[in-house]
A and B are shown apart, each in its own frame.
Chain A
Amino acid sequence: MENIVSLKNIILDFEDGERILKNISLDIRDKEFVTFLGPSGCGKTTTLRIIAGFLEPTSGDVYFDGQRINGLPPHKRNVNTVFQRYALFPHLNVYENIAFGLRVKKTPEKEILKRVGEMLELVNLKGFEKRAVNRLSGGQQQRVAIARALVNHPKVLLLDEPLGALDLKLRKEMQIELRKIQQELELTFVYVTHDQEEALTMSDSIVVMKDGIIQQIGSPTDIYNEPVNAFVADFIGESNIVNGCMPEDCVVEFTGRRFECVDKGFDPNETVDVVIRPEDVKVIPAEKAKLTGIVESVVFKGVHYEMIVDGVDHKWKIHSTKAEPVGTMIGMTFDPFDIHIMKKTEEE
């Protein structure tokens, strides 16, 4: 597959001198659903706005379909955006909002009618043509915003936290619907969110960002199972992160005990972050375990219980379908491949 959008060494400084993006390089393949994921202020929306053309990078190149498009204004780029708070035109009804881009391009009336009709069908808003946009629900406004962007047949659709304002149930529905639309139309979607679950559900690949730096790029499975550092591990799902060191290959020592693991290639006795997912902690009888702790709290979460267990040097978070009574001593163990070893990030 070809790259449709490429960012090369993008640096962006704001007027006050603050560096927002620190050397971002990134390739987005055609027909791919890419998600920029990170906490607020990580630069994900800024990166999206650079692709849209609303911001010019301080240095670095933006390529679209093989051509350098630095300095090209937004209205000349073959991308469309779904804005965070929709930005629908309040003076136009649903039909005219969707038709806006076509009218600007002086499309014949007949074709406008046809294409807007297709879009209304796609986003399930048939019969709402004449409705004023401020009399639509949040979910409906969202659909209009998506239709208004897609009707122009962009090569790339940029979505800036489009589901942020919707309630949980609607958000889940829209996630599935968006994914379906993307696959049906075979378009490239670039999606910005701070919601890791959303990112995992929808994406072909995820770009995890923090403080203007890309931490990791990979498929949802890769990112979840093989996070490159403690930040990614913690941001994608919940994690137990403890300090450890590697006395030799495939052996890791943390909380004063040695465990078998599958990672190698570290310096002898290098200090590392050890990451273990809460669902990978196995509860066993205390007398059989290397590592023990006392159950501090138990919370029912629906599918599983979440226990906080006070062990040596660390409070372990455990997800399990069976709860142990508060105050009991339990044992914990881990499968070697569930222990993820990560190099310490420099700043920490």
Chain B
Amino acid sequence: MKLKYFSAPYIIWMVVFIAVPLLLIAYFAFTTDGGSFTVKYISDVGQYANIFIRSIWLSLIATAICLVVAYPVAFILSRMEKHKQGTMLMIVMLPMWMNFLLRTYAWMTLLGNNGIINHLFGLVGLGPYKLINTSGAVVLGMVYNYLPFMILPLYSVMEKIDKSMFEAASDLGCNSTQTLFRVVVPLSVPGITSGITMVFVPAISTFIISRMLGGGSNLLIGDLIEMQFLGNAYNPHLGAAISLVLMVIILVIMTVMNQFDPEDQVLM
């Protein structure tokens, strides 16, 4: 039982850096400057409904694209010989060793009106196209930055699927498409749910990607919150209220998601 003392540092950490800040945000969201209770800021959040909808929409698209792109990658990776898997995983992870800002800057120069991509289009007599400062560019930035977070959980689940599962499916009459949908997809559901979580949550609250690739017209919730704390619109109470609403939205979406996870269902 002595072991439980080892968890003390972590409990202290959680209280100081997670529980207390959360309470502070809730406190700020429901009080005025003078410290009296109000729901004014929470109801003010409604004015930004369009930004909320855009954020949810763009991050959903980005998550969906990540899933579609990552699924075959993770599958192929998980079926490679063990020693090749390590190398390939490193290549998947490699971009993440580069600074996040730098990577996003790189996309700015690629997508810019006079950027490399438009330059190449120009050579064959096309364009220039408006690539940067579009919602498409924001989605691209999200997919590019968060794709590894989709690949890794998918890979780690798929890698555990025993080869005999494929043989059993084939033995019982499945061609490869049937094996995919009757065996591989159901068995990789835990990876799908955690991959979606790990992409959707950072994507919905990002502000750098939308700022750098989306221009002024593609504000996301993250930008909105940032403006309330650091920008000209300075209003920590409203910022806290927006954060709180965002948190509730994420919580609701995650709860719905977890309904699909068979491991959670067993517990219920």
Q: Which of A57-65, A100-108, A273-281, A299-307 contacts B (4 or more CB under 8 A)?
A: A100-108
A contact residues around B266 at 8 Å (CB): 132
Contacting residue for B168 out of A79, A83, A132, CB 8 A: A83
Q: Do residues B171 and A75 form an inter-chain contact, with CB atoms below 8 A?
A: yes
Closest 7 interchain pairs by CB?
A87-B164, A101-B172, A87-B168, A104-B173, A74-B170, A91-B186, A81-B171
One digit per residue, 1 when the CB lies within 8 angstroms of any chain B CB and 0 when it does not, for chain A 53-84 equals 11000000000000000000111000111011
Q: Which of B53-61, B175-183, B224-232, B248-256 contacts A (4 or more CB under 8 A)?
A: B175-183
Contacting residue for B171 out of A52, A85, A88, CB 8 A: A52
Among residues 150 to 202 in chain B, which have CB atoms less than 8 Å away from a CB atom of chain A?
A: 162, 164-165, 167-175, 178, 182-183, 186-187, 189
Chain A min CB distance to B74 (Å):
18
- Known contacts A75-B173, A101-B172; is-contact A89 B167 (Cβ 8 Å): no
B46 at the interface (CB under 8 A from A): no
Q: Do residues B186 and A87 form an inter-chain contact, with CB atoms below 8 A?
A: no
Chain B min CB distance to A287 (Å):
63
Closest to A80 in B: B171
Q: In the bound complex, how far is the Cα of B168 from the Cα of A89, in angstroms?
A: 9
Closest to A101 in B: B172
Closest to A148 in B: B172
Report which A residues bind B (CB closer than 8 A): 52-54, 73-75, 79-81, 83-85, 87-92, 100-101, 103-105, 132, 148-149, 152
Q: Do residues A152 and B172 form an inter-chain contact, with CB atoms below 8 A?
A: yes
B262 at the interface (CB under 8 A from A): yes
Q: Do residues A87 and B173 form an inter-chain contact, with CB atoms below 8 A?
A: no
Closest to B187 in A: A91
Q: In the bound complex, how far is the Cα of B170 from the Cα of A149, in angstroms?
A: 12
**20 chain-A/chain-B pairs, Cβ below 8 angstroms:** A52-B171, A73-B170, A73-B175, A75-B171, A75-B172, A75-B173, A80-B171, A81-B167, A81-B171, A83-B164, A83-B168, A87-B162, A87-B167, A91-B187, A91-B262, A92-B186, A101-B172, A103-B182, A104-B174, A148-B172
B contact residues around A54 at 8 Å (CB): 167, 170
- Known contacts A91-B262, A100-B182, A104-B178; is-contact A83 B172 (Cβ 8 Å): no
Chain B min CB distance to A220 (Å):
28
Q: In the bound complex, how far is the Cα of B174 from the Cα of A105, in angstroms?
A: 9
Chain A min CB distance to B84 (Å):
15
Q: In the bound complex, how far is the Cα of B26 from the Cα of A178, in angstroms?
A: 66
Contacting residue for B165 out of A75, A79, A89, A103, CB 8 A: A89
A contact residues around B174 at 8 Å (CB): 75, 104
Contacting residue for B173 out of A52, A90, A101, CB 8 A: A101
A contact residues around B187 at 8 Å (CB): 89-91
Chain B min CB distance to A77 (Å):
8
Q: In the bound complex, how far is the Cα of B172 from the Cα of A89, in angstroms?
A: 12
B contact residues around A52 at 8 Å (CB): 167, 171
Q: Do residues A104 and B172 form an inter-chain contact, with CB atoms below 8 A?
A: yes
Chain B min CB distance to A166 (Å):
18
Q: In the bound complex, how far is the Cα of B164 from the Cα of A52, in angstroms?
A: 13
Closest to A105 in B: B173
B contact residues around A75 at 8 Å (CB): 170-175
A contact residues around B175 at 8 Å (CB): 73, 75
Closest to B172 in A: A101
Chain B min CB distance to A85 (Å):
7
A contact residues around B183 at 8 Å (CB): 89
B contact residues around A132 at 8 Å (CB): 266
B contact residues around A53 at 8 Å (CB): 170
Most buried by A among B170, B171, B175, B182: B171
Q: In the bound complex, how far is the Cα of B189 from the Cα of A319, in angstroms?
A: 59
Chain B min CB distance to A35 (Å):
20
Q: In the bound complex, how far is the Cα of B172 from the Cα of A88, in angstroms?
A: 11
Chain B min CB distance to A155 (Å):
14
Closest to A104 in B: B173
- Known contacts A91-B186, A104-B182; is-contact A152 B173 (Cβ 8 Å): yes
- Known contacts A104-B178, A104-B182; is-contact A87 B165 (Cβ 8 Å): yes
Q: In the bound complex, how far is the Cα of B166 from the Cα of A52, in angstroms?
A: 13
Closest to B162 in A: A87
Q: In the bound complex, how far is the Cα of B182 from the Cα of A90, in angstroms?
A: 12
Q: In the bound complex, how far is the Cα of B169 from the Cα of A90, in angstroms?
A: 12
Q: Do residues A80 and B164 form an inter-chain contact, with CB atoms below 8 A?
A: no
Contacting residue for A74 out of B171, B182, B189, B262, CB 8 A: B171
B contact residues around A105 at 8 Å (CB): 173
B contact residues around A80 at 8 Å (CB): 171-172
A contact residues around B182 at 8 Å (CB): 100, 103-104
B contact residues around A100 at 8 Å (CB): 169, 172, 182
